[in-house]
Amino acid sequence: MSDQMSNAQPQFLTVGEGEAAREIAMLVRPAQAGNGAPALVWLSGYRSDMSGTKAVELDGLAAELGLACIRLDYSGHGLSGGSFGDGTISRWLEEALAVIRHVAPDRVILVGSSMGGWIALRLAQELARQGGVTLAGMVLIAPAPDFTSELIEPNLKAKERKSLAERGYFEERSQYSPEPNIYTRALIEDGRKNRVLDGIIETGCPVHILQGMKDADVPHAHAMKLVEHLPADDVVLTFIRDGDHRLSRPGDIALLLSAVKGIIRSSTNRQMPV
C-alpha cells in the first residue's frame, strides 16, 4: 500500500553527543505539493519498529491522501543504532522529538501504539513547552502510559526484584517473539520521571483511543484511566470487544485508518475561518 516508499532507503539522524550519540533511522514521506494537512507521525511500541503492519498501513494512508508521514526506529530497535539495553522513555522521547524537529512539519498528528502512546503524550507536553510544531491530533492504539510504574512494578515477583537488584534487569517471556522481553532498572527508574497519569494532561487537540478488551498486556481499564486524565480534550474511546494488544487484524486496521481520517477532518475544520 505504500507504493514507492516500500523501496525507500531510510535516512539517519545522529541524536545525542559523545558516548550517548546514536544513529536513528527514519522513513519520511513528503507531502504532495500544496497539501497543507498535518504530517502523520508513527510512534512504535516496545520492541516494535517502523516496518510493522500498522506503521506500513499508516504510510499507505498518507500516500493515498497526499500527506507527509514520518516513521522512525528508536535506538536499539529496527534499523537504528544504539543498544536496546540503554533504552529509556527519556532517551526514546529525545529521539522522536529530534526527528520531528529535523523534518520540521508545521503540524503533526501523532499515532502511537502501546508504549508509543506514552511517548506521544510526553511529546504533546514537550511540543507545547518548546513551541514551533503544532499538535493537531492524536490516535493512540492500546496506549500504555506509565506502564513501568502502573503495570510492571506492582506485579513484580520476588525473583524479578532480585534480578533487578543484582543484574540490573529481568527477563519475561514474550508472546510475540522467541526472544524474551528485557526490562532494565534504568527503564523503570526513568519511567517514574516521565509519568503522565499523575495530573491533568493537556494535549490541546482531539484524541482518539483504540483499545482491545481482550488485551492481555494493557488492560482496558488502563485506557479508561487515561481518559480521566484528559478532561479538557475532545476524547473518543473505542473499545474493540474481541481485540488483543496488537490490533493488527484487517478490521482493526480499518478502525485505525478511520480514526486517523477523523482526526485529519477535525484538524482541517479547525483551520477554516468561522
Three-state DSSP at 138 gives strand
* Domain presence at residue 99: yes
Per the CB < 8 A criterion, the answer to whether 59 and 26 are in contact is no
Band the pLDDT of 253: cuts 50, 70, 90.
very high
Q: Which domain holds residue 75?
A: 3-145+206-268
* Domain presence at residue 197: no
Band the pLDDT of 184: cuts 50, 70, 90.
very high
* Domain presence at residue 185: no
What is the reported pTM? 0.94
The runs of H, that is alpha helices, within the chain are: 53-65, 89-103, 115-130, 147, 158-167, 185-193, 220-228, 250-271
- What the block records as the C-alpha cell of 132 is 514551533
Band the pLDDT of 2: cuts 50, 70, 90.
very low
DSSP state of 151: I
Number of structural domains (the chain) is 1
What pLDDT score was predicted for residue 7? Answer: 62
Band the pLDDT of 4: cuts 50, 70, 90.
very low
* Domain presence at residue 163: no
* Domain presence at residue 188: no
* Domain presence at residue 122: yes
What pLDDT score was predicted for residue 5? Answer: 52
Mean pLDDT along residues 29-48: 95
Is the model's pLDDT at 72 over the cut of 70?
yes
* Domain presence at residue 9: yes
What is the side-by-side strand order in the sheet with 69-72?
11-15, 22-29, 69-72, 39-43, 107-113, 134-141, 207-212, 235-240
Is the model's pLDDT at 123 over the cut of 60?
yes
What pLDDT score was predicted for residue 188? Answer: 97
* Residue-averaged pLDDT of the chain: 94
Q: How long is the chain?
A: 274
Q: Treating both helix axes as pointing N-terminal to C-terminal, what angle do 115-130 and 89-103 enclose, rounded to 10 degrees?
A: 60
Query: How far apart are the C-alpha atoms of 211 and 246, rounded to whole Å?
Result: 10
* Domain presence at residue 158: no
Per the CB < 8 A criterion, the answer to whether 249 and 214 are in contact is no
Query: How far apart are the C-alpha atoms of 60 and 171, rounded to whole Å?
Result: 35
Mean pLDDT along residues 49-67: 97
- CATH number for the domain that contains residue 53: 3.40.50.1820
Band the pLDDT of 268: cuts 50, 70, 90.
confident
Is the model's pLDDT at 220 over the cut of 80?
yes
Mean pLDDT along residues 201-230: 96
